[in-house]
Structures are given as C-alpha cells and as structure tokens.
Amino acid sequence: MKSMRVAVVGGGIGGLTAAGLLAKEGHDVTLFEGGPTLGGKAQSVRVDGLRLDTGPTLLTLPDVVKGLFERLGAAELLPPITELEPQCTYRFADGSGFVAYKDLERTAESAGALQSSERRGVHGFYAEAEAIWRAAGEPYLEAPFEGMAGFMARVAKRGVVAMARGMKLATLDELARAHFQTSHLQQFVGRFATYAGASPYEASAAYALIPHIERAYGVHHVRGGIGALVDALGDAVKRQGVKVHLNARAHYTRDARGYRVGPRDGEERFDSVVVNADPLDSLGRGREPLSLSGFVLLLEVNGRSILPHHSVLFGRDYPREFKELFGGQLAEDPTVYVCNPSATDPTVAPPGKTGLFVMVNAPALPREPGASERAAAAWESQAERVKSQMFDKLLAYDPELRGRMRVMGQRTPVDLAALGAPGGSIYGFLPHGKFGPFRRPRIRGGTPGLFFAGGGTHPGGGVPLVMLSGRFAAEMASKHLRRSA
C-alpha cells in the first residue's frame, strides 16, 4: 500500500496507539502534543524518590495492552504486570468492611459477613453481570460503534435472549437492589458508574459489565505505574518511526486536497488526521452535560504504610452524594478512593517512604464565558475543605498515618481543564439513561479522513478502552487511506 501522511493531534494513550499502528503499516506519521510530555491525563510525578500516577491507577483487560505491544513489535518494552488479589478493600460509614477478590467464593464470604443473604446476592449479581457482558459488552467492544444497526447485528449473533436482556436493562442502582439487601453492597455496585463519571441512579445497568471484567480478567498493576506504561508506549511508537513534536499545540483544517495540520505558523499537508482529544465541541455537542471531574491529592508518608493497594472509603449517604455532585456542588461527605502502589510495587517508593494517591469525585466546571477564571478562584478555597475531609477519612481508616503525611502535589478540575478536558471532566460525555452508552461520540469525524481517539469517544475511558479507541481509529484511517490512494 502506498505510504501516506497521517497527523495525530494529541499524545495521550489513544493517540499514541493510533500513531504506532499506522506507522507500523508503513504510513508517514507525525504526532503533535501540546504539552511537554506524552500521556494526556495519564501522567505521573517523581518527587524525592517517590513515583505516583496522577491519572488512572489500575489496569484491566491486560491482554489488550499486551496485544498492542506485540503488534508494535515491542513486547520487551512492556513493564511487568502484576495481578492483584485482593482487588479492592471497601470501608463503610458504620465502620464495617467488604473485600472484593477475583475469587468469587472469597468475595461471597466477605459479603456474607455483612449479612448472610448477601453471599447469595454476590453469586446472582456476578452471574447477571457476566450475562450483560456476553450480551452487550463484547459486541460493544469488538468493533467501532457506527450506529445501532451494526451493534444490534453483533448482538443478534448471540441470540434472541441476548437482545431481550439488553432491552430490559434498568439503572445500575436498580440492578444492585435486585441482588443485594444492604446499602453496603448497593454502594459497592454503584461505585462502578463512576468509572464513566456517571451516577449509579442514572446510568444503565450495562455498567455491571465492569465488575465482571475485573473479576473475570483481574485487576492489575503495571510496575512503575501507568506512567511507566506511557513511557514504554512512547518508546514503542518512536521505534516505528513516528515523528513526535512536544509543546506543539496543533490545529487542523480541511480543504480539497486533504488536511493542513500543525501549529499556526507551521502547518503541513496530511492525508488523514486522528484527534486524541474530547470530540464534543468538534461535533457541536459542547452544551451537553458532562461527566464528573475529580480532586486528587498526592501524599508522602514517612514509613511504610500498611494500607492495601486499592481502598474505597464510602460516605454516609450515597444518593445525596450524587445529587450534590450533579447539582454542581462538592459532596458534604464524599467517598474517598486511596491507592497505595508500594503495597505491591517497591520500585515506586524508596525505603522508609510511602506514596498515596487519594481522590474524591467533583462536579465538572461550568463552561460559560468567564467561568474558568471564577472556577480557579473558587478552588483556592474549596481545595482546603476537601483536603480536610480526605485527611479525616484517611485517619479514621488508619490512625497510624497521623503526623506522618505531607502533601506533595494535587490536581483539581481546573488542572484537568488546562490539559484540554472539557470543564475538567475526566470522561467528557455523560452516559446517563438506558441508551446513554450509545450516544457516546463516535470515532469517525464529520469530514472524510478525520477520526477521534481517547476516553471521550467510543468505547470509553480506562487504559484498555482508550487503547481500543486508538486501534479502531487506526483501522478506520487505514481503510480511508486505501480508498484515497
């Protein structure tokens, strides 16, 4: 096939994936990244020997990641990947706890300690979650979503029962209530809506496929963190001959001869463009409601902490928490997520130190003119209140942390907005409603040869799904280039 020129705008994981695969096919690929480093929202920081991710902190579907590195001829660059067991520890406002394992019987045993009937609920819930995955999840991820007709054709291959099951799906919270009697396990299920920045009271029960994926395929840690994975992917892409320009904020325009892409004073001619950025504005959908943002603290702890790798510390009133968040307010009693990567990976912290990633959900920023300046000023005061809440939850969870923690960094929705996330939203599009996932922006752009990749487009957020978006974008761009040659 004739080599053609492709521009990739944005060096997040989706853009890197598309760039590497298109270069592997022999195309002349140039990647423009507006910031000083690759990775997009998947960044990491190094301070005094500690390394902490500031974006995603876990990995699912590791075969997607391994498969990409193999396709790029760079399997030896991929850092070691460790499966976690247990997967996550949950603590509730009444002091009780629950632990999720890949081993379903151990998960059921932990749930049964809360209430004996919940043991049966675990089995019923995960059976239904697997059925949802088979009926809808697999066909949703196996090809680019270009409309309901193609998707339903893929679903139909799984039989009439699968189609009927999909049409009956309620909200994720309703599914949780159908299987669990305690608010504790209902909160556990509801948490998975936040993987898409959504509310469990508004998001489809289809998101139950996420806990199924974690149980069936495991929760994993990349040695060195997701930041190390980005570094390796960047090296793999450069090995394919991709020309990478950092600190190069590129624009793209189309004319009769193709696309002109690059900084304002240095545009070049390209045959196709992959844009690794949220597509809502480009598609004229910039007024749609956005998914949640987040507030992250990066903490240094003197000594080795006994905290597990992943913990979730729930607030008292989950419905109120989401009502506040989607009403534009910070939660009065927020759920706190804690990641302690050194529990698994000694390379991320020097002896006698621990690094903690601590996060709460936050509403996306308003997007009207002048809102960003007001939001930045508001976060100056709001951040202190949220920090206090996070420290209180941490100390209630592990009193041994008192006097041993210091803040080494933070990331607010304002910081995420500065990275290009609309309103600081982590996932952009808000997939509320039964058919919410199918309204997610598609990979194919509005003009021939334009494609999107990243967490804001199909199939969604999270490292493996973003890699899938990049792979789909590369495949669609390749088909376009073959027709254009």
The pLDDT tens digits of the residues spanning 336-388 come to 999 999 999 999 999 999 999 999 999 999 887 777 677 778 887 888 999 99
pLDDT digit string, tens, across residues 442-481? 999 999 999 999 999 999 999 999 999 999 999 999 999 9
Rounded to whole angstroms, how far apart are CA atoms 264 and 243?
18
The H-assigned helical ranges of 27-100 are 62-71
Rounded to whole angstroms, how far apart are CA atoms 60 and 404?
32
**Does residue 1 carry a pLDDT above 60?**
no
Rounded to whole angstroms, how far apart are CA atoms 127 and 150?
26
Q: Which amino acid is present at 186?
A: Q
What pLDDT is recorded for position 368? 75
Percentage of the residues of the chain whose pLDDT score is greater than 70 = 97
pTM: 0.95
CA 288 to chain centre: 20
Q: Give the chain's count of helices (H) and strands (E).
A: 15, 19
Rounded to whole angstroms, how far apart are CA atoms 355 and 408?
9
3-state secondary structure of 155: helix
**Does residue 224 carry a pLDDT above 60?**
yes
**Does residue 238 carry a pLDDT above 70?**
yes
Considering only CA atoms, which of 203, 238, 237, 276 is closest in space to residue 41?
276
Would you say 141 and 155 are in contact if contact means Cβ atoms under 8 Å apart?
no
Mean pLDDT of 124-143: 92
Rounded to whole angstroms, how far apart are CA atoms 212 and 256?
47
pLDDT digit string, tens, across residues 71-123? 999 999 999 999 999 999 999 999 999 999 999 999 999 999 999 999 999 99
Considering only CA atoms, which of 265, 340, 327, 262 is closest in space to residue 299?
340
Ordered structural domains, the chain, with CATH: 5-41+226-286+431-484 (3.50.50.60), 103-216 (1.10.405), 292-424 (no CATH)
Q: Which amino acid is present at 49?
A: G
